[in-house]
Each structure stands twice: as C-alpha cells, then as structure tokens.
Amino acid sequence: MTTAILKKPTEPTAARKPNRSFVHGLITNKKALVGMIVMLVFIALALLAPVLFPGDPSRITAMASLEPSPEHWLGTTAKGQDVLALTVHGSRSSLFVGLIVGFGSTFIGILVGLASAYFGKFIDEALSLVTNVFLLLPGLPLLVILAAFLPPGLGTVILVLVVTGWAGSARVLRSQALSIRSKDFVAAAVVSGERAGRIMFREILPNMASIVMGTLLGCVIYGIGAQAGLEFLGLGDVSTVSWGNNLFWAGNEGALLTGSWWVFVPSGVCIALVAFALALINYAVDEVTNPRLRKIKTPKNTERSAAK
Amino acid sequence: MRFILRRLGFYLIAFWASITLNFLLPRFMPGDPVSRMFARTQGKMQPEQIEALRKMLGVDTRPLWEQYVDYMHNILTGQMGVSISRFPTPVTEVIASQIGWTLLLGGTALVFAAIIGNLLGILAAWRRGGAIDSALPPLLIFIGSFPYFWLAMGALYLFGVVLGWFPIRHAFTDGLEPAFTWEFIGDVGAHLVLPALTIVLVSIGGWMLGMRNTMIATNAEDYITMAEAKGLRPGRIMLRYAARNAMLPSVTSFGMSLGFVVGGAMLTEVVFAYPGVGYQLLNAVQGLDYPLMQGLFLTITAAVLLANFLVDILYVRLDPRVRSN
C-alpha cells in the first residue's frame, strides 16, 4: 500500500523530498495529530502514575462495589480497590508490554524480511515458509497453548506475544524490501563490494522507513490487545496490575452480573483509545506516503497502475 | 493444478509444524505434567492410562525420535488420549461434541461481517467523500479498536443484563432437548445473536477498509471510464465492473481472517460461556488437561488450514491468472 514513496528513489532530489514532506504531512494531518495527542496523554499518565496514585493500587481502600463518587471517581471493585488507581497504574504494564512486543516483533520482522529479500533463493524460500506457517497458525489458540506450558510471568507473556506476532511484519517488510532490492542503487552497492549487512541495514532499510513505522505501530496495537486477551483468560501474570488483569478480575468477581459497569468500562476504553490512537497514526502514515489514499478534489484520476 | 498441489504441500508442512510444536512443548517444559494431572484426577486413572499419558507428554525414557514417530502415528490415527477434566471421555469425543458450536458462531459472524463490510466498502469507494465514506471508517476503526472480549462484556451487560433482550449464557436454554424443531432453532438463534454481533462489529471495519482501498484503485481503471462512456447504469458499473474486479483481495483475506475469527470467537465464547472449542480450550488450560488442550489446538489448526485450502481452490476458479501460471 505504501509503495508510492519509493516511486522515484533513484533521483536524488525526489529521494529527499518525500522525507521532509513526510514529517510535515504527519504533523499537519488531523488523524496523526489526534492520535499523537492521545498517546502522549497516556504515556504521561503511565509515567506519573506513582505520583498521582502513590502506593500499591491493588490495596483495599474502601467499601466494596461503590459507585463512582467524588472520593472514588471511578468507583471501587468488588474487593474495595479504587478503580481509577488500578486503571492509571494498569497503563504502565500495558504500554510497556505493548512497546516491548511491538519493537521485538518488528525487529525480528526486519531481520527476516531483509534477509529474505537480500539473499533470495534458498534462504528466501525457507524463511518465507516459516513466516507463512506462523501467519496461518491461529494466533490466540497458539498463544494459549504456549502460555499454558511455559512458566507464568511477564517474561513468558512477552516471549509468547513476540513469537506469535512477528510473522505479519516479516511478510510486509519482505515484499517491500524485495522491491527495493531490485533498484539500481542496491545493485551499485553490491558491485562496489559493500558487505551484506551494510547493504541491508544502511542501503535498503532507510528507504523503507515509513513502512517499518507502520509495521511497528501495528505490532504495538497487536501487543497491547493480545496481552489484554491473554490476561483476560487468566493466562498472564496475575500478580501485576494491567488493563487485561483488571478485566480478568472484573469478570471473575462478577462485575457484569452485579451491574458494576464502572469496574470493566475504564480499562476497556483505555485499551481501545490507545489502539485507536495508534491506528490513526498508522492510517495517517499510509495517507501521507500513499498519495492515492489522500483526499483529492476530482474523484477520478486517469493514472493507471494498481496501488497495492 | 500445480498451484493447488503447492498449496496443499504448504498446508501439510504447516500441519506438521503444529504437531511437532505440540510434541516438543511438554518435553521442554519444566516440571512433570503427568503427576500434576494425576493429582487432579484423585487416583481415578488406570495404570495403563497413566503410562499412555506419560508417553504422550514425554515422560519417557526412550530416545526422542522414537517417541516422535510414536506420537505422529497416534495423532494421524486419531488417538489423542483421554480427557482429564472429563475423565474418562476420549479427547476426540469431547472435541466432536463442541466444534459444531464454534463453526456455527464463527461461520455466521464471518459471513455477516464479510458481506456487510464489503458492501459498505463498495459504496464508500463509489461515492468517495460521501456520507458513508467520511463517517463510517473512523467509527468502525474506533469500534475495531476495542478488545473482542470487552465488546462482548459490554454487549452482555447492556443487552443481556440491563435490557434483558437476549440470553447471556450458553448456546441454548438448559433442559431444552436438541432437536430440529422451530422452538429449538429459535432458541439457538437467540443465544447466537450477542456473541455473533460482537465478532461482526469488531471485524467489519477491516473488511470495509480493505474493499474500499482496492475499489479506489479499480475505479481508476480505463475499463470503468469505458463503461461509463458506453452509458451503462451506475449500479451495474459499480457491482459488475468495479466491485467484481476488486473482490480478489477480499477472497484472500477471507481465508486469512479465519484464524482471527477463531481467536476472536474463542474470547467471545469465554465471555458468554458458549460451549465451543475456545471455551473448552480455556477450561482445559485451567484444569491442566494437557491431552485435551493439545487435541483442541490441533483440531483448530486443522480446521483453519482446511478452510484456507478451500479458499485457494475458490481462488483458482476466480482468478484465471493463477490457472495459466
């Protein structure tokens, strides 16, 4: 979808221009702006959580199942914990795991994708096969079975999420790297005797920066959502405070049936807001780099060639 | 034909990989699952059943490759051992009694989401900048950002507990005898509404945006201009000329999204206590029922692979380029 930025990378002026307009486009893009503001708010909350709500958020501070009130803005759980403190503290683990999983799976995706595209032949066949197998295996059941067999803990959660999450990014990055691999400047680098690692990371990788960013955002969204799902099933690290665990306890303590909507709404809304903000930034990156998706005045243009 | 054979080979490799994963996991995990399970069944197990379990889960002194050959043989002949949490029912029987519900839930949700999503995508691309195109995508992305299970919880709370419009648990009312009567089918339908609605809501956005973006590319093709020049009715151009050619990526994602739907259905099933394989898988995990866990994982994988293979065959029918290759 984002091949447009690479249409004329061989002309030096054209190669530099998209970069500047990329940052500019992202800042002036309304979607990106909204997304970035929401993300900044959540990151600030996560960092400030120990200041805003000092002490252990899961300690019991009040009567059980209180409705939202001035003392407890979001009410209390069936155990008597403050929901707002749990939610704010939950952002730390959720964002942390999401970011680690996002960077981890994007990193593996870059390695596999670049190696596939650069070396080609047998290595490409083998890596693509592994990638496609991982893509096809149903993610959540695989997650569950891995989490069930490995010793519980935060490390397991991260490991399992990276194992199930890297394949998608590897596939996208491979196809992008393939199209750059066939460009003249890569051939020139090969002829001039540059080492494989240098060509992969210094020549090819910088030219697919925008798609790497899109993949990274997608992986972070996946990480946050999958962690929440895993924890909701009770397969995460139950001792930490996170959005997924908050929902797990809400379900376990029967918040739905007793009508304590304030216990399960905040954490879910937070997950959705973060995922939505990241998705907005992602779509904005797509729009900025793929002119076809931008709003245009005349709905039909005569240019042919399939995008995608 | 070569295409089909290649794909078939690929699916076989994928299936082999998941069997091997199943084989290796318990063998490299710290601790002894058999004694944990043995403690749970409180001595109801027969010595030979314990022996079989030990073999299956790798508490075995034989060389690894010998165990592996044995394991493969057992799986391929359908011997997946006995379930621990539902002792002494064989794993295959437990799965057989539950897979139908998941197929019903996942299938219904997938078909509805795909049809509605694609139609919306067609309309959005056709009237670019119109009401559907500008209002729906952000809304659907936002809804799609919610975790499956959270939307399920919300739907259960709102429509099940507060409004009481739909039943909140299980696939049919307790005590009702499963039969092909209108009463029973209606009851199953009512129980299906909320779980299916959640999955549809979450997945519809992806369908719509995918279709919209392909369709925008298709709309720029010359044959669309040609069709307009010929004076064909807009509806005909939209559906028979543009949408028809933009369908192919959607068919591919139909296969791809099956895995996601199974995962989503799993979480939804847990929220609604819907008696499908996902709910059972969680129960198996909680009950340390390793044989059932492995059997369920293999079954789900096999189902997803099979469905993808069927989509491939369909693809060959739809895209002549694949055939000539």
The overall longest dimension of chain B from CA atoms, in Å, is: 80
Q: Tokens at residue B285, please? A: 């995990």
Query: Which residues in chain A have Cβ-Cβ distances shorter than 8 Å to B147?
Result: 225, 228-229, 232, 247, 268, 271-272
Query: What is the predicted pLDDT for the residue at B59?
Result: 61
Query: What is the predicted pLDDT for the residue at A111?
Result: 92
Look at residue B152 and give its three-state secondary structure: helix
The answer to whether A299 contacts B129, with C-beta atoms less than 8 Å apart, is yes
Average pLDDT score over chain A: 80
Question: What average pLDDT does the segment A108-117 reach?
Answer: 91
Tell me the C-alpha distance between A191 and A179, whole Å. Answer: 18
Question: What average pLDDT does the segment A185-198 reach?
Answer: 87
Query: What is the predicted pLDDT for the residue at A89?
Result: 85
The answer to whether A138 contacts B256, with C-beta atoms less than 8 Å apart, is no
Query: What is the predicted pLDDT for the residue at A295?
Result: 58
**Which of B217, B297, B305 faces A292 most closely, judged by CB atoms?**
B217
| DSSP notation for B195-248 | HHHHHHHHHHHHHHHHHHHHHHHHHTSHHHHHHHHTT--HHHIIIIIIIHHHHH
Tell me the C-alpha distance between A52 and B278, whole Å. Answer: 39
Query: What is the predicted pLDDT for the residue at A198?
Result: 87
Residues contacting residue B275 through CB under 8 Å, at least 6 positions apart: B98, B101, B170, B171, B269
A307 touching B, CB under 8 A? yes
pLDDT of residue A251 exceeding 50:
yes
**Which of B13, B145, B300 faces A279 most closely, judged by CB atoms?**
B145
Tell me the C-alpha distance between B15 and B9, whole Å. Answer: 10
Look at residue B90 and give its three-state secondary structure: strand
Query: What is the predicted pLDDT for the residue at B39?
Result: 62
Q: Tell me which residue of B221, B251, B238, B245 sits closest to B124, measured CA to CA.
A: B238
Tell me the C-alpha distance between A144 and A198, whole Å. Answer: 39
Question: What average pLDDT does the segment A122-129 reach?
Answer: 89
Tell me the C-alpha distance between B191 and B170, whole Å. Answer: 7
Query: What is the predicted pLDDT for the residue at A298?
Result: 46
Give the nearest chain B residue to A218 (CA atoms).
B145
**A295 vs A290, more confident:** A290
**A130 vs B50, more confident:** A130
Question: What average pLDDT does the segment B8-12 reach?
Answer: 89
> Of the given ranges (B133-137, B158-162, B172-176), which has the lowest mean pLDDT?
B172-176
Question: What average pLDDT does the segment A148-177 reach?
Answer: 86
pLDDT of residue B206 exceeding 70:
yes
Query: What is the predicted pLDDT for the residue at A287?
Result: 78
Q: Tell me which residue of A231, A8, A204, A7 sits closest to A110, measured CA to CA.
A: A204
pLDDT band of B36, cuts 50, 70, 90: low
Give the nearest chain B residue to A234 (CA atoms).
B286
Instruction: Give the HSE-up count for residue B151: Cα atoms under 13 Å, Cβ half-sphere.
Output: 23
Question: What average pLDDT does the segment B63-92 reach?
Answer: 77
- Looking at this predicted complex, what is its ipTM? 0.77
Question: What average pLDDT does the segment A130-148 reach?
Answer: 84
Q: Tell me which residue of B215, B226, B193, B201 sits closest to B105, measured CA to CA.
A: B193
Question: What average pLDDT does the segment A108-130 reach?
Answer: 89
pLDDT of residue A10 exceeding 50:
no
The model's pTM:
0.80
Query: What is the predicted pLDDT for the residue at B45?
Result: 65
User: What stretch of H or E contains B60?
Assistant: none
Query: What is the predicted pLDDT for the residue at B42?
Result: 59
The answer to whether B262 contacts A138, with C-beta atoms less than 8 Å apart, is yes
Residues contacting residue B69 through CB under 8 Å, at least 6 positions apart: none
What's the gap in Å between the CA of B221 and the closest CA on chain A? 6
**Which of B18, B266, B294 faces A137 most closely, judged by CB atoms?**
B18
pLDDT of residue A2 exceeding 50:
no
The answer to whether B149 contacts A229, with C-beta atoms less than 8 Å apart, is yes
| Mutation site for B-interface testing, chosen from A135, A145, A252, A278 by largest number of B Cβ within 10 Å | A145
The answer to whether A233 contacts B297, with C-beta atoms less than 8 Å apart, is no
Query: Which residues in chain B have Cβ-Cβ distances shorter than 8 Å to A266?
Result: none
What's the gap in Å between the CA of B266 and the closest CA on chain A? 8
Number of CB pairs < 8 Å for A and B? 164
**B39 vs B266, more confident:** B266
Summarised one tens digit per residue, pLDDT across range A65-89 is 777 777 777 777 777 777 788 888 8
**Which of B222, B281, B301 faces A144 most closely, judged by CB atoms?**
B281
